[in-house]
C-alpha cells in the first residue's frame, strides 16, 4: 500500500498562493497578463491563484505531458495548444512543479514562436535535485530538494490530484 506523508498543509498552501498572487498583481499592473496553465497538474493551483489576482487578466491552458510513474520519459507531448492570441501579451506560465526543467524548456520554445511581449514562470513547487536545464523560475510558492509528491493537482499515474494538501508519496 502506498504511504502518504503530510508535507505541506492546506493552510500553508493558501498563505503562499495569496502572497504570490499579490506579487503578481503589483508586477503586472501596467501589463497585459495571460495566465497560461500547464495541464493537467496546474489546474487546482491556477484556480486558486487567479482568485488572488485582482488586476484584469485572461486565462488559457497548454497541455504538455512527460511523466509515466515517478520518472520522466524525457519525451514531451503537447496535448493542447493555447486558444487565445498571445502576440504582445505578457504570458505567465503556471506549473505545478518544475523538476528537470525539460517540460518548461519545450513550452517556452513553442510559446516564443507566438511572439508574446514577455514570458515568465510561476510554479507551485520548485524541485531542485534533478534540474538539468538552466531555467529562471520567477515565482515559486515552495522549494523542495527531492522526493515525489502528490496532491493539490499533482498526480502519480493520474491519481491523488484530488488530495487537498501536499504529501510525500512512499511506494
- Catalytic residue numbers read 99
Q: How many residues bind Mg ion (CB under 5 A)?
A: 2
Please say which residue, 1 or 171, places its beta carbon nearer to ligand IMP.
171
Is 151 a binder of ligand IMP (CB under 6 A)? no
Residue 133, phi then psi, degrees to nearest 5:
-120, 135
Q: Rounded to the nearest 5°, which phi and psi values hold at 20?
A: -65, -40
Q: Is 50 exposed, middle or buried (0-12, 13-18, 19+ CB in 10 A)?
A: middle
Q: Judged by CB, which is closer to ligand IMP: 34, or 93? A: 93
Please identify which residue in 66, 80, 138, 142 interacts with ligand IMP, judged by CB under 6 A. Answer: 66
**161 Cα distance to chain centroid:** 14
Residue 32 contact partner, candidates ligand IMP, Mg ion, none, CB within 5 to 8 A by sort of partner: none
Rg (CA), the chain: 15
Decide: is 67 part of the binding site for ligand IMP (CB under 6 A). Answer: yes
Region of 25-33, 54-62, 90-98, 111-119 interacting with ligand IMP (CB under 6 A):
90-98
Strand-by-strand arrangement of the 166-170 sheet: 3-8, 166-170, 149-150
Residues that bind ligand IMP (CB under 6 A): 41, 66-67, 72, 95-103, 127, 148-150, 154-155
Amino acid at each position: 500500500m502506498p504511504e502518504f506523508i503530510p508535507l505541506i498543509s492546506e493552510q500553508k498552501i493558501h498563505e503562499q498562493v495569496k502572497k504570490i498572487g499579490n506579487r503578481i498583481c503589483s508586477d503586472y499592473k501596467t501589463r497585459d497578463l495571460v495566465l497560461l496553465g500547464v495541464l493537467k497538474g496546474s489546474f487546482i493551483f491556477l484556480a486558486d491563484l487567479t482568485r488572488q489576482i485582482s488586476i484584469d487578466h485572461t486565462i488559457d491552458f497548454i497541455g504538455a505531458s512527460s511523466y509515466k510513474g515517478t520518472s520522466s520519459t524525457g519525451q514531451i507531448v503537447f496535448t493542447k495548444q493555447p486558444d487565445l492570441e498571445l502576440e504582445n501579451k505578457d504570458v505567465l506560465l503556471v506549473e505545478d512543479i518544475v523538476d528537470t526543467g525539460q517540460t518548461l524548456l519545450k513550452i517556452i520554445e513553442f510559446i516564443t514562436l507566438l511572439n508574446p511581449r514577455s514570458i515568465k514562470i510561476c510554479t507551485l513547487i520548485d524541485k531542485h535535485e534533478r534540474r538539468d536545464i538552466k531555467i529562471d523560475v520567477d515565482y515559486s510558492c515552495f522549494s523542495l530538494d527531492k522526493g515525489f509528491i502528490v496532491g493539490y493537482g499533482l498526480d502519480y499515474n493520474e491519481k491523488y490530484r484530488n488530495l487537498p494538501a501536499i504529501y510525500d508519496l512512499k511506494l
